[in-house]
Amino acid sequence: MSFTRISKCVARGLTAFMACVLVAGSVISGASQAQAQGLPLIRDSEIESLLNDYAQPLFKAAGLGSGRITMRIVRNDAFNAFVIDGGNVFVHTGLLMQSDTPNQVIGVIAHEAGHIAGGHMAALRHRIAKDQTRALLLQILAAGLMAGGIASGDRDVTAAGGAGLSSGPNFVIRSLLAERRSQESAADQFGLRVLEATKQSGRGMLETFERFAQQEYISDTYKDPFARSHPVATDRLNQLRRNVEGSRYYANFDPPQLQLRHDLMRAKLSGYLESPAIVLNRYPMTDKSLPARYARGIARYFQGGRGGLEAALSEIDQLIQARPDYPYFWEVKGDLLMRSGKSKEAVPFLRKAINLTKKGSNSLMQVKLATALQNSGQKASLQESVRLLKTSLITDPNPRAFRLLATAYYNQGDRPKADAMTAQAYFVEGNVQQAQIFAKRAQRALKAGSPEWIKNEDIIKYDPPKG
């Protein structure tokens, strides 16, 4: 896995915020200091593949096309998911780790698909653009109450608006929240229709809202029901329960193989994100399942100390022996070796992982292998890394891939292409000013009309949206 972050652009408006979505490399690493003030995103081949398998049938049934919407993973312990535009669905690691079944995550994604299909974020942008209380609405947006996520809970809006809700623009806020409550209910119903179309149960969605109903009972008893970002949980839950239990697919359960992939995903997140002590408590030695061994193997590495890497690799080797066709065990072995400064030793395992996955679905692995090859310091390896990175960028405009390409071109003595790749990395990250600086520098030496020249020209002429 790897981490990256979304810049804090909410103060510049929703459009600018959506332009600031960042992407990165493969299997967990730290975000750069330059990105340290934003929202951390995780990129991981295994988890993204699973989420896409959950989501794509839903998006297709919702009429949202194939490959148009990207699943994004936010490192946050809260059980939450949200949308901010029509091209991304954000899910928290807390949601993934706390969900017991694939169907629970699928239900959340179906609900978010309802927000996208209903154009709810476009309606919010229009409301903000025309409303005289725009600053206050953006203040609420910054608090996360307008993000469209089912799991942000029915938070007290006074936490965002302060005294403003009891003063002049109160009627505007109440009107806006009423509109949001209507949108949430509409997203529920649309999500259930999508689940019905894909012959899946709505039980997971129901279980998710039952969780929120319990929280509402404990914490929201005395809150003003009109000052909430979602419909009153009990009303919403009753309607949802009737519809879910009335479905002919209510008794459908997740296939065992899909449940195993879900459990492996949760174990991997635990191993990489939680302390070894927590991991070993959550997955004790008495648990001999593949997910438990997966989590413990990763945790052994992060325990550190003498023999930590050897203990981790021994556990991962046993997993590979049990499931030699599962590419992500090979990838994790390569990742742990790279973390230990053994990039050259990691190369064959990363190659094996790529060979076991479908073409077009292993771009993050290609970036990881390219990193290992560049770290090996061999000239032939540098050229191979360039080919891998170019291939990965066909399907995934990953800023880490652009930066690695820049490094490779620089080491080959091609400074203009290195600057061009750096410009594209900054542009994808949302730093237009820096992107244009490097694009202008590269433009002077690039051949006019070449693909690199055209891309740099587009960056130079790009005018960021205002507000």
350: pLDDT strictly greater than 50: yes
Tens digit of each residue's pLDDT (9 = 90 or more) over 428-442: 988 999 999 999 999
Any residues with CB less than 8 A from the CB of 246 and at least 6 apart, and which? none
Q: Which homologous superfamily does the CATH classification assign to the domain defined by 39-245? A: Metalloproteases ("zincins"), catalytic domain (3.30.2010.10)
Q: How confident is the model at residue 215, as a pLDDT?
A: 61
Hey, is 326 helix, strand or coil? coil
Average pLDDT for residues 115-136, to the nearest whole number? Answer: 63
* Among the listed residues 264, 208, 199, 175, the one whose alpha carbon sits nearest the alpha carbon of residue 80: 208
Give the residue, 150 or 119, on which the prediction is more confident.
119
Tens digit of each residue's pLDDT (9 = 90 or more) over 291-303: 999 999 999 999 9
Average pLDDT for residues 388-404, to the nearest whole number? Answer: 94
Q: How confident is the model at residue 305, as a pLDDT?
A: 73
Range scoring the smallest mean pLDDT among 110-119, 124-133, 352-361: 124-133
Average pLDDT for residues 19-35, to the nearest whole number? Answer: 34
Res. 231 pLDDT band, cuts 50 70 90: low
Half-sphere exposure of 423 (CA within 13 A, CB side): 25
Alpha carbon distance 3, 74 (integer Å): 9
Average pLDDT for residues 440-460, to the nearest whole number? Answer: 91
Average pLDDT for residues 320-331, to the nearest whole number? Answer: 98
Res. 209 pLDDT band, cuts 50 70 90: confident
Q: How confident is the model at residue 208, as a pLDDT?
A: 87
Q: How confident is the model at residue 165, as a pLDDT?
A: 39
Q: How confident is the model at residue 221, as a pLDDT?
A: 52
Counting residues of the chain whose pLDDT is more than 70, the rounded percentage is 73
Q: How confident is the model at residue 175, as a pLDDT?
A: 61
Q: How far is CA 374 from CA 23, 44, 174, 305, 381, in A?
A: 21, 20, 56, 28, 6
Alpha carbon distance 390, 393 (integer Å): 5
pTM above threshold 0.95: no
Alpha carbon distance 395, 226 (integer Å): 44
Both tokens of 79, joined, read 């059980």
Tens digit of each residue's pLDDT (9 = 90 or more) over 72-114: 999 998 888 888 778 889 999 999 999 999 999 999 999 999 9
**How many other CB atoms are there within 10 angstroms of residue 306's CB atom?**
7
Alpha carbon distance 333, 368 (integer Å): 12
Given CA atoms 347, 350, 356, 358 in this order, what sign does their dihedral have? negative
Query: Which amino acid is residue 408, in one-letter code?
Result: A
Hey, is 253 helix, strand or coil? coil
Asked if 88 contacts 69 with a C-beta cutoff of 8 angstroms, the reply is yes
Q: How far is CA 158 from CA 114, 149, 151, in A?
A: 27, 19, 18
Highest-confidence segment of 37-46, 155-164, 204-213, 335-344: 335-344
404: pLDDT strictly greater than 80: yes
Both tokens of 35, joined, read 């990105």
Q: Identify the DSSP state of 228.
A: B
Average pLDDT for residues 168-190, to the nearest whole number? Answer: 68
Q: How confident is the model at residue 217, as a pLDDT?
A: 56
Q: How confident is the model at residue 464, as a pLDDT?
A: 77
Sheet order of strands, 88-92 included: 2-6, 39-43, 70-74, 88-92, 81-82
Average pLDDT for residues 396-413, to the nearest whole number? Answer: 94
Counting residues of the chain whose pLDDT is more than 90, the rounded percentage is 57
